[in-house]
């Protein structure tokens, strides 16, 4: 009888492998080894590739997915070119692709992962490279879906004058007009660096994650008052931004929500878009909690593009 753990150990040492490569090591024919590997795949101990090497799929451990990049040479020329392009761009919109590219995306299942994003009454398909995280994909899709008027108007969102580049997550609160800028007579004050969450902010206990943050504590009070269960919590910015996975009671039982919480005076459409896309990627309805009010444009977008998103305002 073939020792399954020995097979797993060999794959751990050698990386993605085909049955014929295992045969001389295990001293068993490849047909039987193929059956053993299929059994391990059914137990989710190994993964079977869509890509074929010599007519056989690769078998690898879930932790070895990055090693598949070394096998793109086994794709046909068009599929290989599409995989390389998707790797460079990270996320691509299907509606912007050529018909051939769309077919290739479906062929390279190991490297291209589809994401369906609902925008109002319509849905769009985006493709992300398989090593790109959901968080990064969400931000990139939000940028792609940014309302055209924001790209065409003469305003940009930016940090204080000391820093010229845009914020990565599009959460800037100040806007300035493009063109000549008046220099301030006052000397520029050094920017106070935001304190990043430390490891002790993520202390796990039997009762769940304990995060040392005042905004989080306020939100926990709200959740408790409304009988909402927190399943996961993540501190993004101290005293100002949290992400949660929560269960909200309803007449038909508990419903799992992705919850974005922000302590901010005004919530713009960019804030909503980022949360909306993240919810789409997670395939969860979205609850957005804030201490501030929606801008007029954000309210319009909520009615037209972000239907189904629930907004709750809490006191500071």
**Following DSSP, what letter does each residue of 9-52 receive, concatenated?**
HHHHHH-SB-HHHHHHHHTS-HHHHHHHHHHHHHTTSSEEEEEE
> Residue 288 forms beta bridges with which residues?
260, 311
Whether residue 40 is found in the same domain as residue 17: yes
Given 88, 118, 133, the domain boundary residue is 133
Strands (E), the chain: 47-53, 56-60, 91-93, 112-119, 122-129, 155-157, 175-177, 203-205, 208-210, 229-237, 241-248, 255-262, 266-267, 286-290, 293-294, 310-313
Asked if 166 contacts 158 with a C-beta cutoff of 8 angstroms, the reply is: yes
Q: How many domains does the chain have?
A: 3
Whether residue 209 is found in the same domain as residue 302: yes
In a domain, 169, yes or no: no
Cα(156)–Cα(153) distance, rounded to whole angstroms?
8
- Between CA 156 and CA 162, with CA 157 as vertex, the angle to 5 degrees is 110
Check which CATH number belongs to the domain holding 246 and give it.
3.40.1350.10
Asked if 126 contacts 92 with a C-beta cutoff of 8 angstroms, the reply is: yes
Helix and strand numbers, DSSP H then E, in the chain = 10, 16
Whether residue 8 is found in the same domain as residue 95: no
| Residue 278, pLDDT score | 84
In a domain, 157, yes or no: no
In a domain, 230, yes or no: yes
In a domain, 150, yes or no: no
In a domain, 165, yes or no: no
Lowest mean per-residue pLDDT among 164-168, 187-191, 220-224, 244-248: 164-168
Q: What is the dihedral of CA 72, 50, 60, 29, to 10 degrees?
A: -110
Whether residue 88 is found in the same domain as residue 55: no
Whether residue 234 is found in the same domain as residue 258: yes
Give the orientation angle of helix 269-282 with respect to helix 134-144, to 10 degrees: 130
> Does residue 197 surpass a pLDDT of 70?
no
pLDDT class for 190, splitting at 50, 70, 90?
low
pLDDT class for 183, splitting at 50, 70, 90?
very low
* 68-101 pLDDT tens trace: 999 999 999 889 999 999 999 999 999 999 888 9
Cα(230)–Cα(220) distance, rounded to whole angstroms?
8
In a domain, 242, yes or no: yes
Match 């009762």 to its residue by tokens. Answer: 207
In our burial notation (b when 16+ CB lie closer than 10 A, e otherwise), range 246-267 reads bbbeeeeeeeebbbbbbbbeeb
Whether residue 123 is found in the same domain as residue 223: no
Cα(15)–Cα(12) distance, rounded to whole angstroms?
6
* 270-286 pLDDT tens trace: 888 888 888 888 889 99
Cα(277)–Cα(268) distance, rounded to whole angstroms?
15
- Listed as own residue / partner, the contacts of 41-50 with beta carbons closer than 8 Å and 24 or more positions apart are 45/4, 45/8, 46/8, 46/11, 49/16, 49/110, 50/108, 50/109, 50/110
* 12-56 pLDDT tens trace: 999 999 888 888 888 877 778 878 888 899 889 999 999 999 888
Whether residue 46 is found in the same domain as residue 120: no
Whether residue 212 is found in the same domain as residue 304: yes
In a domain, 8, yes or no: yes
Given 21, 49, 66, the domain boundary residue is 66
Whether residue 35 is found in the same domain as residue 93: no
Whether residue 86 is found in the same domain as residue 123: yes
Whether residue 256 is found in the same domain as residue 279: yes
Phi and psi of 303, rounded to 5°? Answer: -75, -35
Whether residue 12 is found in the same domain as residue 107: no
Check which CATH number belongs to the domain holding 50 and give it.
1.10.10.10
Report the SS3 class of residue 208.
strand
In a domain, 142, yes or no: no
Given 66, 84, 104, the domain boundary residue is 66
Domain range holding 111?
75-133
Cα(209)–Cα(231) distance, rounded to whole angstroms?
9
């Amino acid at each position: 009888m073939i020792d399954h753990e020995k097979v797993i150990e060999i794959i751990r040492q050698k990386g993605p492998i085909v049955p014929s490569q295992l045969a001389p090591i295990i001293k068993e024919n490849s047909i039987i080894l193929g059956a053993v590997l299929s059994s391990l795949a059914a137990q989710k101990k190994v993964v079977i590739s869509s890509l074929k090497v010599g007519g056989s799929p690769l078998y690898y451990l879930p932790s070895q997915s990055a090693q598949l990049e070394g096998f793109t040479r086994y794709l046909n020329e068009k599929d290989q070119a599409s995989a390389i392009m998707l790797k460079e761009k990270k996320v691509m919109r299907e509606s912007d692709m050529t018909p051939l590219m769309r077919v290739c995306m479906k062929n390279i299942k190991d490297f291209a992962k589809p994401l369906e994003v609902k925008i109002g009454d319509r849905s769009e398909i985006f493709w992300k490279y398989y090593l790109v995280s959901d968080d990064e994909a969400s931000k990139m899709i939000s940028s792609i879906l940014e309302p055209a008027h924001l790209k065409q108007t003469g305003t940009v969102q930016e940090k204080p004058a000391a820093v010229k580049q845009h914020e990565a997550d599009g959460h800037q609160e100040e806007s300035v007009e493009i063109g000549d800028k008046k220099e301030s007579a006052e000397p520029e004050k050094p920017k106070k660096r935001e304190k990043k969450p430390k490891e002790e902010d993520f202390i796990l206990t039997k009762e769940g994650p304990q995060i040392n943050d005042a905004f989080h504590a306020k939100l926990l009070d709200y959740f408790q008052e409304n009988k909402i269960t927190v399943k996961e919590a993540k501190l993004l910015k101290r005293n100002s931004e949290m992400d949660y996975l929560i269960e909200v009671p309803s007449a038909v039982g508990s419903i799992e929500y992705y919850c974005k919480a922000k302590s901010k005076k005004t919530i713009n459409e960019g804030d909503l878009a980022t949360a909306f896309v993240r919810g789409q990627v997670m395939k969860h309805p979205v609850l957005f909690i804030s201490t501030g009010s929606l801008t007029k444009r954000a309210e319009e977008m909520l009615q037209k593009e972000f239907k189904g998103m629930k907004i709750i305002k809490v006191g500071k």
